[in-house]
Amino acid sequence: MSSPLVEIKDLNRFFRRGGVDVKALANINLQINKGEFIALMGPSGSGKTTLLNIIAGIEKPTSGSLWIDGAEIQRMTEGRLAEWRNHYVGFVFQTFNLIPVLTAFENVELPLLLTGLSRRERQEHAQTALELVGLSDRAHHYPKQLSGGQEQRVAIARAIIADPVIILADEPTGNLDADSAEEILMLLRRLNTEINKTIVMVTHDEMAAKCAQSVKYLSKGVLVQPDVKLAGVQV
C-alpha cells in the first residue's frame, strides 16, 4: 500500500501572547492521500487556517512532524522551503490576492517568473491555465473588469500554473455570491476528479464541504469526530 501524500503526526502550534501560551493546534494527527479532496470545517478560531498554513510551509509547528511526499517540511531551510513551496503548493485565497495593475494573463503568469522557463513557455502555460478555468477570453482584462467569480478563477489558474502537487484553498467561496460559489466549487471538483489534484479546502459552508470526499472537523485546535456537533456548524 502506498504511503499518504501528507502525513501529520502529533502536531502542535502555540502562540505566545502576554506571557501566556495560546493553543492554536493540539496533537493533530492526519493523513491525506494523493488525489484526495478534503474539507476542513469548524468555528472561527478553531485552527483551520493555521493548519492550512502549516501544510503550505507558511507557518511552522511548535512541535510534531509534517511530511509531504516523503519530505519533512519543518526541517527545511527557508530557501529550500520557498523552492519546495513553488513546486508543490498552489494556494487559493478568499480575497483573490490579484495584482490590480496586471491583467488576468499577467497575474496567472507571475509565479513562472521565478522559474527558468522562457517567455514563450510562460505564455503557453498561462494560456493553458486560463483555458482550463474557462477564462481565455478574459486574458487581457484587469481584475476590476472581472466579476468576483472570474477573479477567483484567475486566482485558481495562477495557483495551478506550476502544476502543484497539492492545492490549498482558504475559504475560496467566502466572498462570492451563490452562483459564482457553485462555479468555483465545480471547478475545484474537476481539478480533483479529472486531473487528480489533491485539494485541502477550509470552509464554513456546509454546501461547499459536500464537494469534498471527506470532511475533517476542528474545535479549539483539536480534530474531533464527525458526530460531534460544533458551534455554528451542522455536522
What's the pLDDT at 19?
79
Query: Do the Cβ atoms of 160 and 125 come closer than 8 Å?
Result: no
d(CA 119, CA 96): 25
Report all structural domains of the chain as residue ranges with CATH numbers, in order of start.
36-58+76-224 (3.40.50.300)
Q: Return the C-alpha cell found at 145.
A: 473588469
HEC letters along 196-217: CCEEEEECCCHHHHCCCCEEEE
Q: Return the C-alpha cell found at 155.
A: 486566482
Q: How many CB atoms lie within 10 A of CB 234?
A: 8
d(CA 36, CA 102): 33
Q: Return the C-alpha cell found at 191.
A: 481539478
Q: Return the C-alpha cell found at 168.
A: 490549498
d(CA 193, CA 199): 11
Burial (Cβ within 10 Å: 0-12, 13-18, ≥19) of residue 109: buried
pLDDT tens for the chain, residues 1 to 235: 467 999 999 999 998 887 788 899 999 999 999 999 999 999 888 999 999 999 999 999 999 999 999 999 988 988 898 888 888 999 998 899 999 999 999 999 999 987 888 999 999 999 999 999 999 999 999 999 999 999 999 999 999 999 999 999 999 999 999 999 999 999 999 999 999 999 999 998 888 999 999 999 999 999 997 644 444 444 3
